[in-house]
Structure 1
Amino acid sequence: MTAGLSSLTSLSAKTGNGTASSDASTIAGNFNQFLTLLTTQLQNQNPLDPLDTNQFTQQLVQFASVEQQLKTNDQLGSLITASKASAAATASGLIGKTVTADGATTSLADGSATWTLNPARAATKAVLTITDAKGNVVATQTKALAAGSQSFSWDGRASTGQLAAEGKYTLKVQALDATGAAVAVDTKISGAITSVDVTGAEPVLTIGDRTVALSSVEAIGAAVSN
């Protein structure tokens, strides 16, 4: 009987969101079988060597704990479902709004690509290198950066003077302060949300032809007016 209860414990450990209800039905049936076996043992025990009542008590406690674990799994599954529904509703309300999220890659569209830079402190010299999707350097600019958040826009013009093709471009910033010490610069992207994917564990937002997780969003602005 102990082996049977151990298998029930193993079954409970494997219970997931989609199988909690079916496992609950299974364990209810096994509980009735357990009671039948327990009654049969009591009726047929050897009077000279009676069964240990402590063992029965331990088995009942073990079985009760398995039932409680299954009920907990059911409740957790409901909470997860409610949480996902809430996150999906929140994310869908972002469509059309402008957001700022972590990232160094954005899209060049209509002759413009924009990043948000946030140096840890003022930088007297910052080299901004823009590369295409293949990692080729397209343009390089050198400028000073003030401390705090600021916008950097690229007009799409390559170092050769020609206009770069539309697509994804990545910005890398190497900055130095007045003493020549390196300055860390956080790079973020901004844009309007065009769609939301809620099929995964976390909503994924689409900004142009880029996708970012909802958790990476740091700022939300008003909807873009047409």
Structure 2
Amino acid sequence: METGMIGATNSATSAATSGTKTGPSNTIDKDGFLQLLVAQLKNQDPTSSSQDPNAMVQQLTSFSSLEQAQQTNTLLQGLQSQNTGIFQAQAASMIGKKVEVDGSGFNLQSGQASMNIYLNSAANVTFTVKDAKGNIVATLPQGNLNSGKATVNWDGKDSSGNQLPDGAYAVSVTATGPDGKTAVPFQTSLIVKVDSVAFSSSGAISVLSGTNTFPLSKVLGVSA
């Protein structure tokens, strides 16, 4: 390639590069703010009566506030990361323990499952257990239970006495008053063994028990 052609090519490249423009931005960091402030100082005329010293003081104050806000944000991000690590360590300590989680159902493991019910008043209670297909596999009448907390255990056997496989079973609950018609308000919770703990990139923490996953916010208590 001839020298003239090389020169022409370089000139074209320089022109294309210099013609490239950066789009406007709606935000500015503290470095950009300081550059604007310095440029303003360079172009000020101290002898001009139009100069407002109060405006300069306000701009300097704004720069200081911006810098402090960014430092505070950095500090808060560091504290958030530290707290996330603490929460993860605490959640990991639950592995192998039994926890009470908000919800209903039987999580059958090794032929054993438990579920809690909290009654607003004394009631006649019946648990109806269903498999994953929605079939009724067992009916567990509990008789009259007092108000407050009661724990219902299930050995995993169906209505014919056959042992059912481990897994998750849905439970529907009926609680009626002395007249046998009036529904009594209640809340239910599960007792499950924590097999593992999962952490997501968003910071969410979940406990896993068998095939079930519960967010940490659903954990009501931990036992040995």
1:205 maps to 207
Using the size of structure 2 for normalisation, the TM-score is 0.75
Asked if structure 2 preserves the Cα contact closer than 8 Å seen for 1:104 and 1:187, the reply is yes
Quote the Cα distance in structure 2 between the aligned partners of 1:113 and 1:39: 76
Quote the Cα distance in structure 1 between the aligned partners of 2:184 and 2:221: 23
> Is the alpha carbon distance of 1:105 and 1:142 closer, same or farther for their aligned partners in structure 2, counting shifts above 3 Å?
closer
What whole-Å deviation, never above 9, does each CA across 1:173-206 have from its counterpart, x for those lacking one?
A: 1201214432122211112222112334232112
Quote the Cα distance in structure 2 between the aligned partners of 1:84 and 1:194: 21
In the TM superposition, 1:5-24 aligns within 5 A as 7-8=27-28
Quote the Cα distance in structure 2 between the aligned partners of 1:150 and 1:208: 24
Aligned-partner residue type, residue 122 of structure 1: A
**Unpaired segments of 5 or more residues in structure 1?**
9-26
Matched-pair identity in %: 30
2:69 maps to 69
> Is the alpha carbon distance of 1:62 and 1:133 closer, same or farther for their aligned partners in structure 2, counting shifts above 3 Å?
farther
Q: Size of the alignment, in residue pairs?
A: 198
1:11 maps to none
Quote the Cα distance in structure 1 between the aligned partners of 2:70 and 2:86: 25
1:189 maps to 190
Asked if structure 1 preserves the Cα contact closer than 8 Å seen for 2:34 and 2:63, the reply is no
* Higher Cα radius of gyration: 2
2:127 maps to 128
Quote the Cα distance in structure 1 between the aligned partners of 2:207 and 2:126: 30
Using the size of structure 1 for normalisation, the TM-score is 0.74
> Is the alpha carbon distance of 1:156 and 1:34 closer, same or farther for their aligned partners in structure 2, counting shifts above 3 Å?
same
**Unpaired segments of 5 or more residues in structure 2?**
1-23
What whole-Å deviation, never above 9, does each CA across 1:24-75 have from its counterpart, x for those lacking one?
A: xxx34324412321212314x783x623333333333333322222112111
In the TM superposition, 1:119-198 aligns within 5 A as 119-123=119-123, 125-144=124-143, 145-159=145-159, 162-179=162-179, 180-198=181-199
Asked if structure 2 preserves the Cα contact closer than 8 Å seen for 1:128 and 1:171, the reply is yes
Quote the Cα distance in structure 1 between the aligned partners of 2:137 and 2:64: 67
1:80 maps to 80
SS in 2 for 1:182: coil
Aligned-partner residue type, residue 31 of structure 2: G
Question: Residue 34 in 1 paired to residue 36 in 2?
Answer: yes
1:217 maps to 219
> Is the alpha carbon distance of 1:163 and 1:195 closer, same or farther for their aligned partners in structure 2, counting shifts above 3 Å?
same
Quote the Cα distance in structure 1 between the aligned partners of 2:36 and 2:185: 65
Q: Name the Cα RMSD after superposition.
A: 2.8
Asked if structure 2 preserves the Cα contact closer than 8 Å seen for 1:109 and 1:166, the reply is yes
